[in-house]
Structure 1
Amino acid sequence: MPAKGKHRRPKSRSLTRGFVAAGTGGAAIALPLFGATGAHAAAPEAPAAAKSVTAQVAQTAKPAPRTYTVVAGDYLAKIAHNKNVKGGWKKLYADNREVIGDDPSLIHPGLKLTLGAKNSGKAAKAKENRTEKRASRSAAKTEAPAPAPAAAPTTSGSGFTAPVPSSITTPYRASGSMWSSGYHTGVDFAASSGTSVKAVGPGTVVSAGWSGAYGNEVVIQHADGNYSQYAHLSSLSVSAGQTVGGGQQVGLSGSTGNSTGPHLHFEIRTSPSYGSDIDPLAYLRSHGVSI
């Protein structure tokens, strides 16, 4: 019996080894199962991370700026109000100055404006390039010898005269349409391209060259402290610093800048800059010009 008991002990050891083997096997099996469980748990994390990155990109991406195409009857104040532009027409003008030019009142149908973001796209760049080319051509014309002045219209006793001998097509303070300020800041004279444009009175040329929406422009300071402006010229006959007499040619009429066709835009101002306009016809009449 003792021998048989000793003979049975290996079974106990066999069970122990079996237990150890099972334990070892269980460990071997548990590890892959644990790894598999981990792998299955990690799988959903990738889409979550991708969603997080996508959300960050969406948050940092800026919305595309809105654009608006000017139609007949528009002016900047009206557009800014209708499109809820923060900062009003002044902000709208500041953001699109490269496209509009120096005079915010001169916008025309078909002009594309950016709403709420500065217009620095290809359209603005193209506009800038065209402006530089025109300015270069204007400078070349200014440096060339001035053509012989055409016969000046009859001047008044004070030496003042009309800028061109023609009728007025758009009066001073005409409202609406293409003027953001709500009115026309000068008067428009009918004048086909190449018509001789005269200084309305003696004075000194303060500027002669390209001026954005006004195209080729001449501004003259007169002895009384007021300034006359001649815009959309096809060519210039004077240069800055030059002294001119009443009736002397300062350029030829045209349709440069923001213009719907050949004409002369004429202003009288209390300063050389836009926004200081006064009634040009009343001014000429006060100097004895019948117009």
Structure 2
Amino acid sequence: MAFTRAAGKHRAPSRLSRKSAHAAGVAALATSGVIGTLASPAFAAEADRTAAPEDAGLTTAIADYELADEVADQASAQELAAEVAERQAEAEMAAKRNAEARAEAARKAEARAEAAREAQERADREAERKRLNSFTLPVAGSYVSTAYQSGGALWSSGSHSGVDFHAAYGSTVVSVGLGTVVEAGWGGAYGNNVVIRMNDGTYTQYGHLASVSVSVGQSVAPGQQIGVSGSTGNSTGPHLHFEARTSAEYGSDIDPVSYLRARGVNV
């Protein structure tokens, strides 16, 4: 890393340049006669003895100059060290700010992700709530082949207590809504049948099944399979007999088509 100095700051000449200047000064003194010739050792020795005060003063001056030079170098080194420390502190502070910014960005990203997860969970719960509160046909894509309260000798009461949905043998039969199984198995004229107490307090019945796949006390969801269609009991062919009731007892039947339509099912 390169460091620059503020305008107007100047360093003293280096020790080498100052020593060169000292040497030049000494040479000038020698040529001017202040210091005698250096060629003759005897004369130099004599000069040392006779000019001791002047030599001592010059030596002291040079020593003082060198000391000042060392102090200036130390001051420059300290100044450079302080500048390096300042730059390092600035770099550390910048790194700290960057780390804090990254941590804050990560925290915000996590908060957004958490909010998105919570929103998705709420949406999932709402979708599940709607699904559980929804109703569906007992046989997918089927239609009513015999209407409610149709008359005839086929029914002991003289009229049809439910509706018949068209269903080939072995078709999947599902619960029309959320509820609990209260009857599962043989039901006399109904053959193999299932009765479910719905969550809204009403009851639905599924008759003439070839087989049953639920048991009493089991909770069932809308669209969950409870058996397959057949022609057991008092039946002239495969179909699903479906009833809607206000209680589990025979004779409390209500119009199954109106019941399903009131709960959003297209019949």
Structure with larger RCO (C-alpha < 8 A, sep 6+): 1
**Structure in which a larger fraction of residues adopt helix:** 2
TM-score by length of 2: 0.50
Give the TM-score taking structure 1 as reference length.
0.46
Radius of gyration: which is bigger?
Answer: 2
